[in-house]
């Protein structure tokens, strides 16, 4: 027990200082936590205020803009101010209907009334009167007499249209009418303060915070319910739309301010406590250091004697101390070595990333030092960069836990390294992404790069498929003769993996073999995609043939995953745009049965075959539902026959709505409306599309003069034909033929 007296003395010496400092740290922590909470509350309160201001400004601005639009475009309003009379009951009824419709469209609006300057007539949504008899004449008269300029939204005021209802607190906007000319009257819209309160009351809790709105004159647009002593203003802002002053803060904010002021007291008290603790530690350390100093002195003296002397004597405490010190040093040394090995893996991964991305190209001498330390590849030899990508990585992540994923990735990395050793090769493997393992394969001078990579990695690929129950696809770049070419080989390996969708997964894809394939421009497919979308919208069954033609075209060429995804996105966009021309019923069908399933299928597909099958299945299902809708519509069959007639006789110059209305015994206006509803296009637009499409075919495949082509597609006037062709295509017929001929010649040269 006596041997531990020094330990307990040390413990008791430092314990008071420890308790003092720890206690202060706890106090400071909770104080800072409270202060941080207060700051967050202030910040949240400011955000709330800005959101409330934005909501009110947006609503008022929308009402103002829509009224301006009506003043510009509504013929009834123009007639009312220019030539309307008090006895024009039909016009006044239409105006009242407009005002009621506007109130229904914008529930925030309480009332609207119009004032005509020349006869002093006032018409509101509830009554009509002369200006002198109208209860709100004191507000509008200064505007009419030009004593008050248009200042936008007014401050809070009382509006009483009927004495039986009593006054109502509103803000008003007076707009000169007509809007762009010398005013012949005014339009006044009133928004109740209660409506503004309801607009923002769901944004905050009245028990926690408040919002106070003050107009330019100091009136309370949105008053507060708490007394002045119970609230504290923490945020304020001026609305750029109305000029109102928005103030917000916290309920019982005074107490929050008092609590926050105690922070300085705690801070000073903490400094005093730290100083006291520091002095205590210094005192205890000086007092307790004396026996340690004596031991150190003895150890220094003992270290100068011989080993035999160290083994003699009865002073065991010193040797115990030395043994403890040595054991600690050995333990620290082992820890440092273990930490060095762990850091070595991180450094290797970082160095690999820099090497393949071209961020760090080491010199020969520097690399030799790193190579000896980390067992790296010899960069004087050719290197091939490969990227091993886990197939169906989304399913892999959802199927396995994090621990299982780590084990399987470790197994994948290990099997590649072991396979390389079995084949007498040298590889450097590092994970470069969640689903990608980078592999740097060293090629001997006598080896053929492709055979070397295939021999090592294909064996590993098969082993992974058999034992790990997953597949990998490997992209291999060209051999890099020097370190500067390694980033290019890495980029080629990544590019090769982009063709996995078309070539298939669970294989090795060499970038060199891709260069021999015929790669086409994406633009070559856009015309076909547009034709598919149009046929789909019109309910033509030939969209399937065009879809098969698109799939066959992609299958004959080599497109990367990026190109296939872009083409699929464009197909979804094109059909959606075409369906957007139809009625709401067709648009809802496309959104539910077409757009969403296609997007999900595209993101869930790893191969081109999966994209093809899922897209065809979804489009067929959507197409069948589209036909069912057409069957249920009364005039679908008639419009289909009209469309077929147009497709047969679009070259007839006499083809028109009147021509078709006589043939199908329908009024021309009715026929035009039904055609628009069923096809999503106007009659004249569809006719122009047929004629311009035929004209483009003739310009591309024949040498006929433009005049002859115009007559062949139903235009008697070549000037009208040329103008319409340029409007649709963007080029005149002659320019289009020259452009097409030049493109054909360039393609033939390539």
Give the CATH number, domain containing residue 685.
1.10.10.60
Looking at the domain assignment, is residue 53 inside a domain? no
Determine the pLDDT at residue 192.
92
* Cα–Cα distances in angstroms (integers) from residue 729 to residues 63, 559, 696, 734, in the given order: 41, 28, 9, 12
Tokens describing residue 605: 């597909």
Q: In the prediction, which pLDDT does 47 show?
A: 84
pLDDT reported for residue 94: 92
Q: Are 190 and 112 in contact (CB under 8 A)?
A: yes
Indicate if 683 and 611 belong to the same structural domain. Answer: no
Residue 194's CB: how many other CB atoms inside 10 A? 14
Query: Is 482:355 a contact under the CB 8 Å cutoff?
Result: no
One domain, residues 349 and 477? yes
Question: 736: Cβ–Cβ under 8 A, 6 or more apart, which residues?
Answer: 696, 699, 725, 729
Q: CATH code at 117?
A: 3.30.450.20
Per the structure, the count of domains in the chain is 4
Q: Is 571 exposed, middle or buried (0-12, 13-18, 19+ CB in 10 A)?
A: buried
- Where does a domain end: 198, 227, 242? 198
In this structure, is residue 61 part of a structural domain?
Answer: no
Burial class from Cβ neighbours inside 10 Å (0-12, 13-18, 19+) for residue 473 reads buried
Assign 155 to helix, strand or coil.
coil
Asked if 428 and 465 sit in the same domain, the reply is yes
Residue 165 CB burial class (10 angstroms; 0-12, 13-18, ≥19) = exposed
Residue where a domain terminates, one of 198, 226, 257: 198
In this prediction, the residues of the chain whose per-residue pLDDT falls under 50 are: 1-2, 228-229, 305-319, 322, 515-520, 748-750
Residue 270 lies in a domain: no
Please tell me whether residues 143 and 181 are part of one structural domain: yes
List, as own/partner pairs, every contact residues 295-299 make where C-beta atoms lie below 8 angstroms and the sequence separation is at least 24, other chains included: 295/321
Residues 355 and 493 in one domain: yes
Give residues with Cβ within 8 angstroms of 448, minimum separation 6: none
| 507 shares a domain with 400 | yes
746: which 2 tokens? 């360039």
458: domain CATH number is 3.30.70.270
Q: Tokens 């040093």 — which residue?
A: 329
Which of the listed residues 467, 492, 514 is the one where a domain comes to its end?
A: 514
Same domain for 191 and 167, yes or no, is: yes
474, 380: one domain: yes
Collapsing DSSP states into helix, strand and coil, what is residue 420? helix
User: Which positions ≥6 away from 231 have C-beta within 8 Å?
Assistant: 210, 224, 249, 250, 251, 252, 253, 254
Q: Are strands 508-510 and 472-480 parallel, antiparallel or unpaired?
A: parallel
Do 492 and 478 form a contact (C-beta atoms < 8 A)?
Answer: yes
Same domain, 144 and 80: yes
| 3-class DSSP assignment, residue 173 | strand
User: Rounded distance, CA 68 to CA 74, Å?
Assistant: 10
Q: Determine, yes or no, domain membership for 280.
A: no
Question: 460 and 564 in one domain?
Answer: no
Residue 37 lies in a domain: no
Range of the structural domain that residue 383 is part of: 345-514
pLDDT score, position 190: 92
All residues at 6 or more sequence positions from 255 whose CB lies less than 8 Å from its CB, including other chains: none
In a domain, 320, yes or no: no
**Model-level pTM?**
0.40
Same domain, 481 and 559: no
pLDDT recorded at residue 114: 92
């Amino acid at each position: 027990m006596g041997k531990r007296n020094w330990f307990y003395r040390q413990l008791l010496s430092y314990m008071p200082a420890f308790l003092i400092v720890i206690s202060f740290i706890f106090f400071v922590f909770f104080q800072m936590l409270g202060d941080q909470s207060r700051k967050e509350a202030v910040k949240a309160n400011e955000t709330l205020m800005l959101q409330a201001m934005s909501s009110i400004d947006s609503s008022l601005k929308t009402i103002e803009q829509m009224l301006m639009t009506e003043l510009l475009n509504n013929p009834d309003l123009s007639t009312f101010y220019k030539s309307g009379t008090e006895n024009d009951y039909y016009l006044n009824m239409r105006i009242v209907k407009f005002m009621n419709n506007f109130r229904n469209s914008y529930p925030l609006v309480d009332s609207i009334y119009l004032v005509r300057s020349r006869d002093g007539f006032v018409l509101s949504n509830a009554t009509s009167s002369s200006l002198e008899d109208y209860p709100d004449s004191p507000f509008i008269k200064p505007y009419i007499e030009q004593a008050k300029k248009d200042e936008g939204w007014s401050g809070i005021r009382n509006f009483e249209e009927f004495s039986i209802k009593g006054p109502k607190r509103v803000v008003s906007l007076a707009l000169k009418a007509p809007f762009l000319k010398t005013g012949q009257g005014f339009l006044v819209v009133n928004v109740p303060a209660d409506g503004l309160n309801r607009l923002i009351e769901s944004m905050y809790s009245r028990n926690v915070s408040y919002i106070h709105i003050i107009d330019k004159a100091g009136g309370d647009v949105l008053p507060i319910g708490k007394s002045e002593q119970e609230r504290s203003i923490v945020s304020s802002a001026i609305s750029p739309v109305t000029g109102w002053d928005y103030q917000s803060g916290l309920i019982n904010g005074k107490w929050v301010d008092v609590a926050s002021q105690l922070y300085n007291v705690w801070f000073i008290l903490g400094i005093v406590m730290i100083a006291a603790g520091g002095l205590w530690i210094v005192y205890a350390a000086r007092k307790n250091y004396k026996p340690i100093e004596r031991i150190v002195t003895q150890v220094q003296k003992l270290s100068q004697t011989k080993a035999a002397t160290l083994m003699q004597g009865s002073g065991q405490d010193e040797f115990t101390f030395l043994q403890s010190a040595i054991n600690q040093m050995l333990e620290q040394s082992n820890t440092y070595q273990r930490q060095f090995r762990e850091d070595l893996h991180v450094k290797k991964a970082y160095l690999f990333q820099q090497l393949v991305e071209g961020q760090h190209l080491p010199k020969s001498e520097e690399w030799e030092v790193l190579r000896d330390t980390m067992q790296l590849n010899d960069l004087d030899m050719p290197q091939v960069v490969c990227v091993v990508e886990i197939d169906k990585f989304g399913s892999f992540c959802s199927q396995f836990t994090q621990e299982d994923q780590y084990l399987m990735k470790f197994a994948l990395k290990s099997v590649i390294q072991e396979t390389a050793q079995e084949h007498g090769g040298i590889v450097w493997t590092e994970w470069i992404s969640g689903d990608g393992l980078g592999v740097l394969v060293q090629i001997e001078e006598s080896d053929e790069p492709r055979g070397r990579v295939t021999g090592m990695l294909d064996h590993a690929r098969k082993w992974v498929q058999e034992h790990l129950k997953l597949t990998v696809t490997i992209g291999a770049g060209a051999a890099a003769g020097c370190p500067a070419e390694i980033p290019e080989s890495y980029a080629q390996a990544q590019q090769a993996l982009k063709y996995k969708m078309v070539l298939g997964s669970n294989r090795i894809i060499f970038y060199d073999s891709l260069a021999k394939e015929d790669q086409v421009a994406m633009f070559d497919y856009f015309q076909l995609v547009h034709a598919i979308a149009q046929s789909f919208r019109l309910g033509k069954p030939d969209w399937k043939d065009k879809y098969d033609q698109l799939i066959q075209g992609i299958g004959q060429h080599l497109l990367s995953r990026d190109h296939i995804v872009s083409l699929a996105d464009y197909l979804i966009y094109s059909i959606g745009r075409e369906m957007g021309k139809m009625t709401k019923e067709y648009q809802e069908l496309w959104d539910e049965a077409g757009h969403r399933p296609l997007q999900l299928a595209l993101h869930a597909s790893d191969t081109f075959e999966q994209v093809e099958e899922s897209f065809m299945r979804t489009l067929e299902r959507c197409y069948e539902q589209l036909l069912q809708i057409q069957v249920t519509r009364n005039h679908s069959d008639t419009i289909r026959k009209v469309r077929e007639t147009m497709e047969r006789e679009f070259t007839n110059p006499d083809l028109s709505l009147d021509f078709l209305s006589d043939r199908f015994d329908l009024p021309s206006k009715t026929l035009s409306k039904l055609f628009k509803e069923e096809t999503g296009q106007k009659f004249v637009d569809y006719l122009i599309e047929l004629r311009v499409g035929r004209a483009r075919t003739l310009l591309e495949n024949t040498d006929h003069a433009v005049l002859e082509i115009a007559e062949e597609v139903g235009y008697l006037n070549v000037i009208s034909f040329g103008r319409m062709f340029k409007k649709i295509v963007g080029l005149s017929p002659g320019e289009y033929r020259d452009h097409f001929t030049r493109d054909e010649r360039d393609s033939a040269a390539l």
